[in-house]
Structure 1
Amino acid sequence: MIVALKTIDGIKLSSGSQGPQKLTCRLTEDKELPRMRLDKFHVTEIPVPATTGTEKTAFSPGKHQQRGMPFWQKAVILLCVGSMLLFSLTLMMDAESASQWSGGLSALSSKLDSMAPMPVIPEDDPTCVSRTQQNLYRRQDRQLTMPTALGETWKRYAELHRSCSLGKSKNWTDVFVKQANGGCNYLLFIEGGAGLGNRILSLTSALLYALATDRVLLVDSRKILPSLLCEPFANSSWLLPDDFPYSEVEQAQALGRAKELNWNVSLVNLHLEHLQSGGDQQFFCDDTHFHLRKVPWLAWTSTQYYVTKLFMIPSFWRRLTPLFNSGPDAFTYISRLLILPNNDLWAHIVRVYWGYLSSSGLRLGLQIRLHGRGDLAAFDPAVKDRIMDCLTSNRALPTMQEGDGSNVTQLSALYPRKYLAMRRHQAPADTVVFIASLQQRYQEELMKMFDRQANVDNSIIRVHMVSHSGRQDNSVDQSHNALVEMWLLSFSDVIATSAYSTFGYIAQGLGGLTPYILNIRGENVTGDGKASCLVGQSSQPCTHYPMKPACESLNITESHQAWMDGHIRECQDQPGGLQLGTYPVPLEGR
């Protein structure tokens, strides 16, 4: 038999016939936080030694207990009561803060319940960790699933690359000189001397061409890109040796001359720069590629982006659209397969991400490059003002408060943050602005503004940069930092990029982010009459200089034309440029 007498509200003492039982003390939380009452906490199952039927129960009211309560029971009771009193007093000292804490806890619990499960992390490739880890740093809605057709084609192409490279990777010079191709065709990527953005865009164009024509892509190991990127194909190398006869490649016949020679050549150098001769432009005619099949070696000499134009060539359109769910996100898919930072760069990217960008509610990427003026790295106050106007008018950043009392108002509003931050219910910063620019003063000016002025949302805003070299020199170190910045920008929730900037195109394309396009191109941004920025129409890069060759036959079918009407449009930041995307078809085009 168990006898329990309630001597203090919420405390029960019990004894039973089975001998002494384990003492337990339990606190339960009531909905009336923070106004706690002592009787809202319960101590249960405090046993006393077993008694016989004739013995009196401990603490019988009005009776004297012959055998007093053991000391250990008294100590436990005092400990429980003391703990309840201390906890209640702590809550009552700051009822408002405790209420917010309790509400924050409920909100956090609800948020955790609604969160998607952690993604399954594939086994890391030790030779290229970024290949398997990159999606861990993107929002779930931007973790694109590779189309089945693209995945199968990529595996088949990797096997082609391996079989055509087997036993040759250390002897490419002999293979080239002796024309010992073994039935394989090759595409040599000749890296140009422009900025990193142009080089990467050209490389992705070359890869897509190689993928569509079954040519084994090989790159110049003396240049910068191979020192930054992983090998893209398993069990195969794309690197040419240092002693490869590059001079023969540079002196090879151009496309127009090869046509005059009735394609009776073993190597054609494709000059695909922004300025091209009429013969070079024949590359964008469908019938040209029928003849190029007979040429075992092609050299891709370019610093331009031509993925958009490849989709306008009928035979390539038929081959490529099934791989990319009709095509509008082609660069995003290809770049995530190809533009993979090597392990050293990836470690740099991850450290910056966790050290400076992860602890915020919103990540805002800001890429600043002043095209159309002599100094790409200049600081212009008008540019800073235009950037802020763009970001505040589109609610990417809050507007600043004016008036003497704004700081006091914000201090009062920020007071509860210490409790939420300490308990990890709120990030230390509401927004982190990550800036990629050659000029540090943009960071300094934004930091000064956010640190010294209150804003209408009472937000805490942090500003960070990786590098600020002050000028563009295309060195290995600057290219290293540039690729780090491109990837970090691609992890943004919101991104604003500079008009005409290939650097910005890489970041937005990698992330699948539709940008705000900053109108900061040209010497005078105050008198150009333009809006501070445009809402981008697509995440894909702009083909700045699409060629319009005089082809013998266009062979454009109605279905191909209808596809182009819905997926290719003039760029917003470059008149005459072309951009892939998904666009509404004009009524006259239906």
Structure 2
Amino acid sequence: MGSVRAVQGERDPSQEAEKRRPSGLGTVTVVFLLALPLLLLFFLFGDRAVASIAADYPVWQRFKVQSSGNASSSRRAERCAHDRLLGGLLSPDFDAATCLSRYEASRRWKPSPFPVSPYLIRKLRQYEANHRRCGPGTANYRDAMAQLMSGRNADRAECKYVVWLPLQGLGNRMLSVVSTFLYALLAGRVLLVHEPPEMEGLFCEPFPGTSWVLPPEFPYTDGFSADSKESYVNMLENNIVRYDGSGDAGALPAYVYFHLEQISLRLQNHTFCEEDHRVLGRFNWMVLRSDSYFAVALFLMPVYRGELDRMFPAKASVFHHLGRYLLHPGNRAWGIVERFYDGYLAGADERLGIQVRLAPFLPITFEVMYEQIARCAREHDLLPQVTGDPGARPASGAAKVKAVLVVSLKPEYYDKLHSVYYTNATATGEVVTVFQPSHDQDQHTEALAHNERALAEIFLLSYSDRLVTTGFSTFGYAAHSLAGLRPWLLLLPDRATMRAEVACMRSASVEPCLHSPPSLVCRAEQDLDPVAHVPFLRPCEDVYFGLKLI
């Protein structure tokens, strides 16, 4: 774990409103009894020291985040009134101790901007029942495995499955597993997740009374690529499967591999055409590998459109709702979130998250990237300007505290912001505190501890009031979509000048971007521009050839 770093701030304590005193004998006793509950509340829920997390984080500078009485009171009210079941998304049928984040995460999120559709809730409960009926350890699963090992597809099967294989980093994995779950909802399949060592315990079980983890005896988890002979596209080209549906379903191979990796920033043909999905539906076992948010592409298919409309009346709520339903940090990762948030961020009047991820295909110097971040913050009033007067004080009352959470593999962005606000007063009188939970320097997707820190930081970012994220970053997409916030996206600079003409742009929706849209060369239609024909699709602000739901 990297260093936790802070800038110290001060405040004047808020004053309690004057209370009317009773008259007559025993006045002192009555006043004391009336005041006792307030004193206890102040003692228990007032400003917290961060000493309790010192054992878990090496701290360069320790301090107590302090805020105005109004802010802390409103935070307490939000915690007391939090919606633990997220509007009905979550089932109450869990032992909370097995997954501390499941019912606790909502205490820190802002209320969702999207009401949950009753139809989506019904579909989730139906899915959970089907997963309990077909999941690992059941007679139906044993029968399905026996059929799979026979080498042939079953003519009739009680249960159908989609096996998700991870690809790329954590952000890509979160986007693709949510997309796969949405496909499972639409296609009547049971989702099973291959959990390699770097993901063991990273997420809690999302479905009550069963497991989504693929049992270790499943034989088909390695060696897949777009060129695999088991891939659907190759089966189609080799005439193993045909659109006309001729032949016995029992004569099909035991499973089909569905490859949805972005190749040259485009998904393969024959992946999101209706006739292809009719063929795919004949297979009882599907193995799927993806690094993309292909949920967007499911909206291009008329066969699924009615169900999607009923589940998501607000089209921009897909990852927001399904991510909150499906992705609960395991207890180790959640411990990082709780200790850091409660110790460093909870008491601030406002929290600004800044996520910096440099694109490997476009090397950008620290100076260029920091200038762009500063320009974005200045142009959109995200951070106060500093003055040359180190002794400046707010005009009246307690100073407003703004906590800035910097999430980056590199420490330089924290160092610079820390220096600016540690050594200079702000023009508004605000106290700006700056934190960075870790700085691993390089991405290590193969390491469980790295992934736990990354997951914790995605959730910490999602508890911001405002967000600045890096364009093209799936890590940033996951954070702002969970939050339900439209972020300011840092746009990629021009290759020639290495400067972005526009520093950042407000996203049109909270949805992630599909970087690699599918080709729509289907038998029933030509290669159409989806944006021109689907009213709730737009090009992405940060990836001009990408697609997003609005």
Equivalent position to 1:571, from 535, 540, 547:
540
| Deviation readout 1:304-363 (Å, 9 max, x if unpaired) | 111111101111212212101142211111101111111222222111110111111101
The equivalent residue for 2:316 is 328
Q: CA deviation at 1:198?
A: 0.9
The equivalent residue for 2:213 is 239
The equivalent residue for 1:287 is 275
For 2:108 and 2:72, how far apart are their aligned partners in 1? Answer: 23
SS of the aligned residue for 1:228 comes to coil
Q: CA deviation at 1:42?
A: 9.4
Report the residue type matching 1:341 in the other structure. Answer: P
Structure 1 residues 174 and 543, CA gap change in structure 2 (3 angstroms): same
Q: Tell me if structure 2 keeps the 8 A contact 1:383–1:520.
A: no
Q: Tell me if structure 1 keeps the 8 A contact 2:463–2:483.
A: yes
Could you tell me which runs of 5 or more consecutive residues in structure 2 were left unpaired when the two chains were aligned.
1-16, 29-67, 86-91, 243-251
Query: Is residue 118 of structure 1 aligned with residue 104 of structure 2?
Result: no
Q: Considering Cα pairs closer than 8 Å and 6+ residues apart, tell me whether 1 or 2 has the greater RCO.
A: 2
Query: Is residue 452 of structure 1 aligned with residue 423 of structure 2?
Result: yes
SS of the aligned residue for 2:97 comes to coil
Query: Is residue 386 of structure 1 aligned with residue 372 of structure 2?
Result: yes
Q: Tell me if structure 1 keeps the 8 A contact 2:531–2:539.
A: no
Deviates more, 1:275-284 or 1:297-306: 275-284
Q: CA deviation at 1:233?
A: 0.9
RMSD value over aligned CA atoms? Answer: 3.6
Equivalent position to 2:127, from 149, 157, 176:
157
1:67-216 alignment runs, 5 A limit: 118-119=81-82, 121=84, 125-140=96-111, 142=112, 144-165=114-135, 166-167=138-139, 174=146, 176-178=148-150, 182-192=157-167, 194-216=168-190
SS of the aligned residue for 2:271 comes to helix
Structure 1 residues 350 and 468, CA gap change in structure 2 (3 angstroms): same
Q: How many residues align?
A: 466
SS of the aligned residue for 1:566 comes to coil
SS of the aligned residue for 2:201 comes to helix
Equivalent position to 1:395, from 381, 384, 396:
381
Q: Tell me if structure 1 keeps the 8 A contact 2:83–2:106.
A: no
Structure 1 residues 222 and 242, CA gap change in structure 2 (3 angstroms): farther
For normalisation by structure 2, the TM-score amounts to: 0.76
1:540-551 alignment runs, 5 A limit: 540-551=511-522
Report the residue type matching 2:185 in the other structure. Answer: L
Q: CA deviation at 1:197?
A: 0.7
Q: CA deviation at 1:521?
A: 5.1
Report the residue type matching 1:305 in the other structure. Answer: Y
For 1:201 and 1:279, how far apart are their aligned partners in 2? Answer: 15
Structure 1 residues 434 and 30, CA gap change in structure 2 (3 angstroms): closer
1:336-415 alignment runs, 5 A limit: 336-373=324-361, 380-401=366-387, 403=388, 406-408=389-391, 410=392, 412-413=393-394
Q: Tell me if structure 2 keeps the 8 A contact 1:147–1:325.
A: yes
Query: Is residue 516 of structure 1 aligned with residue 508 of structure 2?
Result: no
The equivalent residue for 2:241 is 262
The equivalent residue for 1:271 is 259
Could you tell me which runs of 5 or more consecutive residues in structure 1 were left unpaired when the two chains were aligned.
1-28, 32-40, 48-75, 77-103, 421-425, 582-590
Report the residue type matching 1:482 in the other structure. Answer: A
Structure 1 residues 321 and 554, CA gap change in structure 2 (3 angstroms): farther
Q: Tell me if structure 1 keeps the 8 A contact 2:418–2:434.
A: yes
Q: CA deviation at 1:265?
A: 2.7
Q: CA deviation at 1:109?
A: 12
For 1:548 and 1:448, how far apart are their aligned partners in 2? Answer: 49
Q: CA deviation at 1:396?
A: 1.1
Equivalent position to 1:532, from 484, 503, 513:
503
Q: CA deviation at 1:469?
A: 0.5
Report the residue type matching 1:398 in the other structure. Answer: P
For 1:108 and 1:326, how far apart are their aligned partners in 2? Answer: 31
SS of the aligned residue for 1:329 comes to helix
Q: Tell me if structure 2 keeps the 8 A contact 1:499–1:521.
A: no
Q: Tell me if structure 2 keeps the 8 A contact 1:168–1:175.
A: no
Report the residue type matching 1:509 in the other structure. Answer: S
| Deviation readout 1:192-247 (Å, 9 max, x if unpaired) | 2x111111111111111111001111111325345311111111112122232126
Q: CA deviation at 1:291?
A: 1.6
1:429-444 alignment runs, 5 A limit: 430-444=401-415
Q: Tell me if structure 2 keeps the 8 A contact 1:568–1:580.
A: yes
Q: Tell me if structure 2 keeps the 8 A contact 1:286–1:554.
A: no
Structure 1 residues 446 and 289, CA gap change in structure 2 (3 angstroms): same
Q: CA deviation at 1:455?
A: 1.4
SS of the aligned residue for 2:419 comes to helix
For 2:457 and 2:74, how far apart are their aligned partners in 1? Answer: 31
1:469-508 alignment runs, 5 A limit: 469-474=440-445, 475-508=447-480
Q: CA deviation at 1:441?
A: 1.4
Q: Tell me if structure 2 keeps the 8 A contact 1:546–1:577.
A: yes
Report the residue type matching 1:255 in the other structure. Answer: Y
SS of the aligned residue for 1:265 comes to coil
For 2:75 and 2:215, how far apart are their aligned partners in 1? Answer: 53
Q: CA deviation at 1:549?
A: 3.3
Structure 1 residues 380 and 523, CA gap change in structure 2 (3 angstroms): farther
Report the residue type matching 2:542 in the other structure. Answer: D
SS of the aligned residue for 1:239 comes to coil
Q: Tell me if structure 2 keeps the 8 A contact 1:372–1:522.
A: no
For 2:427 and 2:541, how far apart are their aligned partners in 1? Answer: 32
Q: Tell me if structure 1 keeps the 8 A contact 2:353–2:404.
A: yes
| Deviation readout 1:170-192 (Å, 9 max, x if unpaired) | 89754531467842111011112
Report the residue type matching 1:159 in the other structure. Answer: A
Structure 1 residues 359 and 168, CA gap change in structure 2 (3 angstroms): same
Q: Larger radius of gyration, structure 1 or 2?
A: 1
Report the residue type matching 1:191 in the other structure. Answer: P
Structure 1 residues 247 and 331, CA gap change in structure 2 (3 angstroms): closer
Q: Tell me if structure 2 keeps the 8 A contact 1:369–1:438.
A: yes
SS of the aligned residue for 2:306 comes to helix
Structure 1 residues 240 and 460, CA gap change in structure 2 (3 angstroms): same
Q: CA deviation at 1:479?
A: 1.1
| Deviation readout 1:517-568 (Å, 9 max, x if unpaired) | 11255777x64351111121111100001021310014999xx989964310
The equivalent residue for 1:229 is 203
